Amino acid sequence: MGRIDRAYVYNAAQRDHTKPMIVHYKGKRRRQLWPAGTVERFVNLQGTVVQSVLVAPGVPKSKEGLAQARAKLYAYKTTDGDVVGFIEHGKCPLKTGVADRDPVLAEEMERVRDVCGPACKEHPVTMKKTSKGVEYFDSCPHIQYVIEQRRALHRAKTIARMNKQKSLQQIEQAKLEAAQQTAADTRALLERIGDKLEDKPRSRKQATEPSE
């Protein structure tokens, strides 16, 4: 069996699902559910490190199946199309040729190269089995920069969307207040018209009565 710190893809279906998975990250103890099937850790479009199922439990693992599952993750993109593809967390993106998948990814990797320098000589060790259990580590500087930039972009989009929703709420509130004011003005006008109509018969009656 190969080293666990190099086993980026592993069959979690062979684990004991009745017990929680104890992991450590930066010295902090965490509990999480065991994923089912063959999984691998990726950086998603929002900059979060996630475990994605490549092969479902009970399905024979094959190179073709793993390649198809990865291809689906590589094809994901945001609605705006400004972020494309999941990226393997345990591999240097400049070393694996991520930039060749899409022009948007190529621009992203160019920015990564400008800030962090050339590709790593070896892929980073992002997990290993210790006496505490499975321990996770940060990836190489290139992946960490990708995570920071994608999170910052997602955060900026969220703030912009919230501000837009707030503006729409303000517009709707202004419309509601204008409608309420119009209704109040209409009621006041109708009341004045009603008072004048009541005064006219009384004035006619007084004019037709004979003087003594």
Per-residue pLDDT tens for 110-138?
999 999 999 999 999 888 877 777 788 88
For the full predicted model, state whether its pTM sits above 0.95.
no
Q: How far is CA 171 from CA 18, 167, 175, in A?
A: 53, 6, 6
Which pLDDT belongs to residue 203? Answer: 55
Alpha-helical runs (H) found in 26-140: 63-75, 103-116
Q: Where are the domains of the chain?
A: 4-160
- In this structure, are residues 43 and 154 in contact, taking their beta carbons and an 8 Å threshold? no
> Which residue do the tokens 């621009």 mark?
107
> What are the backbone dihedrals phi and psi of residue 148, each rounded to the nearest 5 degrees, phi first?
-60, -45
Mean pLDDT by 10 residues, the chain (212 residues): 40 54 68 70 92 83 89 92 92 91 92 93 86 82 95 91 76 79 81 72 56 53
> Residue 120's closest CA among 85, 81, 94?
94
- Distance, in Å, from the CA atom of 74 to the CA atom of 69, rounded to the nearest integer, reads 9
What's the confidence (pLDDT) of residue 77?
Answer: 92
User: For residue 115, which amino acid is it?
Assistant: V
Residue whose structure tokens are 């069959």:
11
| Nearest residue to 45 (alpha-carbon basis) of 77, 93, 74 | 77
CB contact at 8 A, 126 and 88: no
CB distance 1 to 15 below 8 Å: no
Q: What was the pLDDT predicted at 57?
A: 77
Cβ-count burial of 25 within 10 angstroms (0-12 exposed, 13-18 middle, 19+ buried)?
middle
Residue 189 pLDDT: 78
Please tell me the predicted confidence (pLDDT) of residue 200: 64
pLDDT tens digits, residue range 129-164?
Answer: 777 777 888 899 999 999 999 999 999 998 888 887
